[in-house]
Structure 1
């Protein structure tokens, strides 16, 4: 089986708070639950960032369930015991740390999409289809302007709208986390195979527009055919 190759090449970078969160997160993951990692000042100095940047990193770590904060004598940051749900989320966020994160996210996302298409056929309401069509309109405007980043963001909004029709919380969570990996660290994009940019954007626009109309008409076979084409490109 070959890995789907995207026709738009994406480049990513971590922000300073994310870099600091990554450093402390690795400490927390390698420590025993409840182990003291250090004071805020000690860890801020270790990361070499400002207080504001460190506080933002701390919010990221707490949101991911990796650390707890205790005040008073002997206080500081402590390794948390992550719940199973947090472990799933952290596994998705861990893709950020790998040079192949975009390719991995695309590959895993592609494997999940047939399941989401089935759910969208079954559960999509008129309001869901309206949100999908709005994303298609935004993709169209970006294609006319040849704005690749806006096109990609509108495309991800479309896929997120499709994912949110699924009643499966686990499927939604994993898929939307993969989209976050792609969206959060995209700083530039361009054609990956030398083809003219307008041709790529218009081809992708047509494919996604046809997919939305297949979902709107509850045409399962056509929708699955289109998502298979989508994942081969």
Structure 2
């Protein structure tokens, strides 16, 4: 048994807070779980204990991986903190001004105009983020980016759009976490989530993207990670190509990215 599990077991004896779960639908995505954490923290108030990791994970009926990803999102938004030891668990906290900036972005109505603006801003700050990643990425960071790119490639080969988009989100979110700038990091994560939510909805409405489209989108991400790994400034060219939707294969190659994911530029 790990120290963390022991702490959670100890904390469980104090009992969970009063949950209002009757109207909650089953949760599938980390973003949905993170939103439930935010709501629960807002209702509880700063400093109030929300429960242990296992209590909340069981409550929402999600896997350990989904819960941990959601917890990382909630912590990055400054709405929860984790304490270890007896009486530990997740606690509501008050976001800083920087975190509130990112949260304000997330609170925008996700209509077509807001999503278009989110994409435009994300494209504008991407070069700044990539420069930070080139300067500060550690061996562990590069491996995490490579793992996410590999998951994208495997999902693309299977034609698994949902897994592909989740791995894509994980790759870009990890890039944001590498940046030492808290304002850039918070803003980027907020924009990323708006775009990701819209992308999933659009893909669901328009149907599954062809396998060739997914493989083409995977390839530009794989090339981007490869450039980051060797601190190659070509990464700036690749992120521009990623954002403008330029072909990510040679012009004479018939396997060009089609329109299925053009709206998303995942």
Bigger relative contact order, structure 1 or 2, given CA contacts below 8 A and separation 6+?
1
1:83-123 CA-partner distances (Å, limit 9, x unpaired): 63354134211234434343232222111110110001100
Distance (whole Å) between structure 1 residues aligned to residue 165 and residue 188 of structure 2: 16
Structure with bigger strand share is 1
2:140 is aligned, of 110, 124, 127, to 127
2:117 is aligned, of 101, 104, 108, to 104
SS in 2 for 1:218: coil
Matching residue of 1:7: none
Cα RMSD (Å) of the superposition?
Answer: 3.4
Q: 2:203 matched to 1:189? A: yes
Query: Does the CA contact (< 8 Å) of 1:121 and 1:215 recur in 2?
Result: yes
1:223 is aligned, of 235, 238, 241, to 235
1:118-141 CA-partner distances (Å, limit 9, x unpaired): 001100000000000100111011
Aligned residue runs from structure 1 range 140-155, under 5 A: 140-155=153-168
SS in 2 for 1:219: coil
Aligned residue runs from structure 1 range 164-183, under 5 A: 164-183=177-196
Whichever of the two has the greater Rg, that structure is 1
Compare 144-153 and 206-215 and name the one that shifted more.
144-153
Task: Give the unaligned 5+ runs of structure 2.
Answer: 1-19, 25-32, 47-93, 246-266
Query: Does the CA contact (< 8 Å) of 1:92 and 1:178 recur in 2?
Result: yes
What displacement does 1:183 show? 3.5
Matching residue of 1:232: 244
Q: 2:147 matched to 1:160? A: no
Query: Does the CA contact (< 8 Å) of 2:179 and 2:185 recur in 1?
Result: yes
